[in-house]
Homo-oligomer: A and B are copies of this chain.
Amino acid sequence: MARRAGVALSSVSRVLNDHPDVSENMRSRVLEAIAELGYEPNLLAASLRRGSSRMIGFIVPDLRNPLFGSIVTAAQDGLSQQGYAAVITTSSSDADRDADMARLLRHRQVDALIVSLADQTREDLIEELRRFRGPIVLLDREVDGLEDASIVETDHGSGMEQATRHLLSLGHERVALLTGSLQVRPSAQRVQAFREAYRQSALPYPEDLVRPVGFAPEFGERSTVELLRRPSPPTALIVGSNQLLTGVLRSLRRLGIRPGVDIAVVSCDDVPLSELHNPPITVIDRDVTEIGSSAARLALERLNNPDTPPRRVVLPTTLVLRDSTHSPHG
């Protein structure tokens, strides 16, 4: 920077990073010069020298999904307070792109990674993550061979068991489950809990009604049609995400089947659509903001103290009963 202030570059740097050993006189002289000359720091150069970019890399499947928008926003709140910026990338639920983004972010020297992987079992992707030097926070993923990562997970199982039991107790015998691929923790955990709820009842487990197809709306749309065309269709539907829900409701409308009257519907995560739908949709809810702020906290604690071991935070789910769940006979 301009040495026209009559001071050395190092003094400027010291003032800017408020180093302890700097006189009040020097501080004011530098500050004055900065104001006068319109000095603009170059954080790129500082990052290179410091060996830390103060940037956090995000990889999420889809920013159009308000779930991830909320998570990222909450995480940013915590991170930006400590001077970190967010470099956000999306994978479109494609594990190859996950790997590409991980590499890209590594080369861009982000200090930490907060990621929601498309596939927690892909070896090449895991290897790519393992190459990363710095804290990794996984969002709701269980990755073998990545023991050093912190995890923010949701207890999907408990909500799913509650929901399933609730439907069974209402008299539903054939409940269908639509959720994402089994290559991610939430889906795997839901299917397991769903099966467990059936196991505890006297009813036969409806294997043919479990559809771990993916989280996109189109999957919900197609699966709904397909399920309801069966000779003995389900009388209740559990839907694994707000995105799937839009597809499901679209199909139900087209088929003239009324949620809450002709078929019971439970969704996951409360969004405006589930709350304000007519009838309102019963949901397995959770605190989405907490996911993001926990992720930020876990990242920051290892950033501030590299010796901190990775941690795991588990957030609860709760069943919110609404009018979309009724007994099968009226």
Contact = CB atoms under 8 A, between A and B. Distances in A.
A104 interface: yes
Contacts of A90: 73, 76
Contact of A277 (B41, B66, B70, B278): B278
A127 to B, nearest CB: 12
Interface string A216-253: 00000000000000000000000000100110011001
Copies of this chain: 2
A90 B63 CA distance: 14
A176 B65 CA distance: 30
A85 B87 contact: yes
Contacts of A108: 43-44, 85
Contact of A63 (B48, B73, B85, B87): B73
A276 interface: yes
Interface residues of A, number: 48
11 contacts: A41-B107, A44-B44, A44-B47, A62-B69, A63-B69, A63-B76, A64-B66, A85-B87, A86-B88, A246-B272, A246-B276
A109 B273 contact: no
A249 B48 CA distance: 51
A178 interface: no
Interface in A173-226: none
B64 A70 contact: yes
A140 to B, nearest CB: 18
